Amino acid sequence: MSTSPFALPPAPETLEVTGERVRLRPFEERDLEAMAGYRGDAEVCRFLPFDPQSPDDIRRRIGHLFGGTSLEGERGGVVLVIESEGAVIGDLVLFHLDTDAGSAEIGWVVSPGASGRGLATAAVRALIDTAFVVYGLRRVEARIDPDNARSVALAERLGMRREAHFVEKEWFKGRWGDLLVYAVLAREWAAPAA
């Protein structure tokens, strides 16, 4: 068995990212109410692996990641809120690190009120930049329900490649659900646009 050439650099002590018209910053306790505003919406949660959430539900589900900057460990990961014009409009997660492959998964949840303005695209772009530049990852992937047209379009707008379409992959919210896997490599992300 060969040893992976990938080595994760040390995690930053703090993490805040400024993108085009968005700011990604660590969670603060005061963000729970705003997060519950969109994470509590049944339509937003339709394609997510959880039902509508209250502030307590959010804390139970991802509270262990709040304020963290390390991807390593069984429960490692980074959650950042997306802020635009001083308002929390969504949150992002970078998690499920595969240290041997230098790969991690990215996920996003965005308020419907923020859609159609390019803010989700700017936020996800900034986090992918961070995954490659700050964390030194070589691959980022997103797992998306094919019926989630907005997320599929977002991944494609960012230039992520559709690598797989698993048919009836898992029992999900009362039905057998398909799963798409999108990914991008650091060397592709850094390549100049043609």
Quote the pLDDT of residue 19: 86
- pLDDT grade for 193, boundaries at 50, 70 and 90: low
Q: Would the pLDDT of 20 be above 90?
A: no
- 2, 129 contact by CB (below 8 A): no
Half-sphere exposure of 75 (CA within 13 A, CB side): 8
**Count of CB atoms situated within 10 Å of the CB of 6:** 15
| Dist. CA 14–CA 10, nearest whole Å | 12
Quote the pLDDT of residue 147: 94
| Dist. CA 146–CA 47, nearest whole Å | 9
Mean pLDDT, the chain, integer: 93
How confident is the model over 152-179, as a mean pLDDT?
Answer: 96
- Spell out the domains of the chain, with CATH numbers in brackets: 17-189 (3.40.630.30)
- pLDDT grade for 152, boundaries at 50, 70 and 90: very high
Quote the pLDDT of residue 148: 95
Angle at the Cα of 18 (from 110 to 40), degrees rounded to 5?
20
